[in-house]
Amino acid sequence: MTSWTCDKCTYVHSDAEAQFLCCAICSAPKLAEAEAPAAAPPPPTPATRPARENGAVPPRPRPQPVLRPPPAKRHRAAARKSSVYLIPSEAAHAALKERFPRARKALAALKWGGLLHATMLRFDDIDGAHRDLERIANDASAAGVRALNGRAFRLPAQCWDNRGGVAALARPGDMGAVLEAMLDTLRNALPTMRRGAFRVHRLRDIHITLPGYSDKAVLIGAVDAWDLALVETSSAKDLRVVRRWHLVCVPEPPEPPRPSAEELRAARLARLT
C-alpha cells in the first residue's frame, strides 16, 4: 500500500490514513502529490499513432515546380541573324584608312569586325532564309541602280549630321529617291516569306555609328563607292559578308552602226545573184 509523509510534522500516513488529503496530526495539506512532476505520457502504440503514420492516409503530394519557357530575348540571342547593310566598297574602305589615319582606331573599335555600315534591314534567320534574302537584296540593289538613272551614288558630307557617336543621314538630297527605292523593295518583298522577324528601317532612321571620331561627316562623305551587302551576324558580335552588290551604273553597250544605203543595196544584189 502507498503511504505519504507530512512535510510539516513528518507524521507517516499509512494504511487507511494514506487516503487523507491533510495531515492527521497538524492538519497540514498533503503537498507530495500536488508538487510531484507529472508522469511522462506513454509511448505511442500503433493504435494511438496518427492514421497518416499508420499508412491509412497517403502523404500530401509536393507541389511541382512550374516549368516556364525561356525568355524571348534569350531565344533571339541564340538565333542566327542577317542584315542588309549599306557599306563602302572594299577599295573605298581601304582608301579611308589611308586618307584618314586618325580614324583607324575608331574603325577598328567598331563592332561587327570594324565594318562601317548603315543598316537597311534586320532579319532573324529561320531555316534557309538566306536564299530568299539574297534574292530580295539583289532585287533591292537592281531597284537602286535603276533609280540612279546613270548618276553616281554619292552621300557627301553635307548629307550627315553629327549626333554624338552617330552620324545621321539628315539630308540625302537626290540620293533619297535611290535609298527609298531599295527600302521599298525590301519592305514589299519580305512579308511574302511568312517566317522570321524582320525590321526594315525608314529613310529617316538610317545612320552610321562611329564613336571616338569627331569628323564623321567628312569621313563618310569621302566614300566614293558604296555596296549593298547581305551579312550574317551572331550573338558573339562577329560578322560575315555573304554577298555584295555594287551600287554603280553599268554603261549600256553602244548600238551597232547602222548600214549605209550603198551597203544595203550591195547586200540586196548579193542575195539575188
Q: How far apart are CA 272 and CA 235, in angstroms?
A: 76
Residues 8 and 111 grouped into a single domain:
no
Q: Hey, which residues does 236 pair with through a beta bridge? A: none
pLDDT digits (tens, 9 = 90+) for 218-239: 999 999 999 999 888 766 567 7
Looking up cell 575608331 gives: 106
Looking up cell 532612321 gives: 205
pLDDT digits (tens, 9 = 90+) for 29-68: 877 554 445 556 666 665 555 555 555 566 677 766 555 5
pLDDT confidence bin for 198, thresholds 50/70/90: low
Residues 21 and 96 grouped into a single domain:
no
Residues 15 and 85 grouped into a single domain:
no
Of 21-35, 143-157, 180-194, 223-237, least confident by mean pLDDT is 21-35
pLDDT confidence bin for 178, thresholds 50/70/90: very high
Q: How far apart are CA 85 and CA 239, in angstroms?
A: 12
Sign (positive/negative) of CA torsion 93, 97, 98, 103?
positive
Give burial (CB, 10 Å; 0-12/13-18/19+) of 231.
Answer: buried
Cα 19-21-24 angle, rounded to 5 deg: 85
Residue 30 belongs to domain spanning: 1-47
Residues 3 and 128 grouped into a single domain:
no
- Of 102 and 124, the one with more pLDDT: 102
Q: Is 163 a domain residue? A: yes
